[in-house]
Amino acid sequence: MNAHSWTNAKLHELDQTYYLPTFKRMPLALARGEGARVWDVEGHEYLDALAGIAVCNLGHCHPRVVQAIQDQAARLIHISNFFVSEPQVALSKKLVELSGLDRVFLSNSGAESVEGAIKIARKYAHTQGRGGGIVSMHSSFHGRTLATIATGKEKMQRGFGPMPPAFHRIPFNDLQAVRDVVDDSIAAIVLEPVQGEGGINVAKPCYLRALRELCDRENIVLIFDEVQCGIARTGEWFAKDHYEVQPDIMTLAKGLGSGIPVGAILSNEKVSRAIDFGDHGTTFGGNPLACAAALATLETIADEDLLRKTNRKGFWLKEALDEALSDRDGLREIRGLGLMIGLEFDFDTKPLVMEMLERGVIANATAQNVLRLVPPLVISQEQIEQLVSAITASVEALNRRQATASLS
């Protein structure tokens, strides 16, 4: 079968035959992308307000990233970490400079980064005579490995027990809950400054500052998971920069490589000193190809002034949505930072996502009743207007359908 004869339905049929059934996929098979737009195999065009789940921050196939990948692939792709490479050294230096932290470890994904952060935190805690307990937040999401699901929702743990011990989950934005759980058995507190999968829940500034003070006082490692909210997504390089709170460890992935798998753990010198040779490792992490993509991504964000533009676009989008929708439409709240925005409704948002898809817009439902918008940071004003129109028309269509059903 040649490429021109593929259909969405045929590729989905083959996918269901061969792939492990772990995803509830949208009924599309995407073939190419450019900027904030993608096309399926049948040639239909869509505005992408999901960006590969906050991955394609520069949009799809940004020319500078594509060129960097092509050039590096022609020179050197993989060497293992028995050796250093120029792209890895340059990326490590860049991340230290941007973050204000001291050390970098490069991985392949967000879950790997969080797993590594937990290891570093526990190693440091053990040098200080503390236990290895990890405190995480309700509605958090840190990955799908055993340790990371132990930090998250119970429904993701079902069927995979026994869970690793010494993980404690507490309410988000609740300082007293932290005080109640902290003792000498706790090694670290891990949280997302802006929760993504949990529904775009933004940490309170006073909460993060108080956490920093508590961790300093108790000698507990503070870990910020910025896998989704980092790399300019919120209008700053990292969401922590909105709060002027520095963690001991920060994790990155998603937007770092513009779609090439790459993650990072950044740590301060205090906790980094606990790590010895052989304490952690990776085969593929930090390979020259991934590092070249990440470097091009960071340089392009800076050169195109995307921090300022993301703040401005996020303000426009929230203002437009606030004007277009009201509580009569079932809207409860619009929240978020930069172009990481959640619309909470009083109904399940999965049907809303499918209505939007019918209107040529890709988005995502999370936390049952939240519409998550994480479009490419290069989305244009015209495309923002298209997005708002699609949301408004889709909400109206759902409301009409519900009204008709209630009369019948």
Query: Which residues belong to the active site?
Result: 141, 225, 254
Pseudo-torsion of CA 180, 181, 186, 189, nearest 10°?
-90
Residue 206's closest CA among 173, 250, 247?
173
Q: Which two tokens stand for residue 31?
A: 């073939």
C-alpha separations of 365 from 344, 348, 356, 370 in Å = 10, 8, 11, 6
d(CA 198, CA 136): 13
Closest CA to 236 of 92, 100, 383: 100
Count of beta carbons in the 10 Å neighbourhood of residue 338: 27
Contacts of 175 (CB under 8 A, 6+ apart): 207, 210, 211, 214
Instruction: Quote the distance between the C-alpha of residue 337 and its chain's center.
Output: 13
- If you search the block for the tokens 């988000």, which residue do you land on? 172
Of 194, 201, 206, whose CA–CA distance to 239 is shortest? 194
Alpha helices in 255-305 (DSSP H): 269-272, 288-303
Give the H/E segment covering residue 107.
strand 103-107
What is the C-alpha radius of gyration for the chain, rounded to an integer number of angstroms?
A: 22
The single-letter code of the amino acid at 199 is G
**Element containing residue 136 per DSSP (H, E):** strand 133-137
What SS3 state is found at 40? Answer: strand
CA 72 vs CA 62, 79, 255, 293: distances in Å: 16, 13, 19, 9
H-run or E-run covering 147: helix 146-150
